[in-house]
Amino acid sequence: MIVNTTYGDVFKTSNKHIAFAVNTEGFNDAGFAGSVSRHWPKLANTGPKKLGDVISKKGTNKIFHALVCHSLGNDGWEKTAETVTKCLDSLDVPNDETIAIVLMGAGVFGQLGGANVFSILGGMARSKKRVAVYTL
């Protein structure tokens, strides 16, 4: 469920958990995932993953959750909305905590790949987890 939307830097969130999109091919050196991979180098090239996989890493003050929810190929964003719901609901985060989540599909690669941002927001809204959506 979406509890808030914020225009701002998700790295400055007061929330402990930050979720974001990564691709099935495992090439995560661009976009927001690329920013995270500067601090989490293994994220830049994870190797192939399945839709719905989640890769989590505890940082100093935050826990990052890379949600494998799209592909770089044709129709790569087609199942993102349902996959985001599944990924969020699978996170081991107490129900009273809010997860900061980056708006997925709104960047250059998402738009070129045909991402439907409103559908993806619907997937976030259908999750049982509390999410605060961040965008720039």
Domain boundaries defined on the chain = 2-135
Protein fold of 2-135: Leucine Aminopeptidase, subunit E; domain 1 (3.40.220)
* Neighbouring residues of 12: CB distance < 8 A, sequence distance ≥ 6: none
Using 50, 70 and 90 to split pLDDT, how confident is the model at 92? very high
> Tokens 């976009």 belong to which residue?
31
Residue 136 has pLDDT above 90, yes or no: no
Beta bridge mates, 5: 133
Q: Report pLDDT for 37.
A: 93
Identify whether the C-beta of residue 127 lies closer than 8 Å to the C-beta of residue 1. Answer: yes
- What pLDDT shows up at residue 39? 87
Q: Extract the tokens encoding 37.
A: 């991979």
What is the predicted pLDDT for the residue at 75?
86
pLDDT given for residue 74 in this prediction: 81
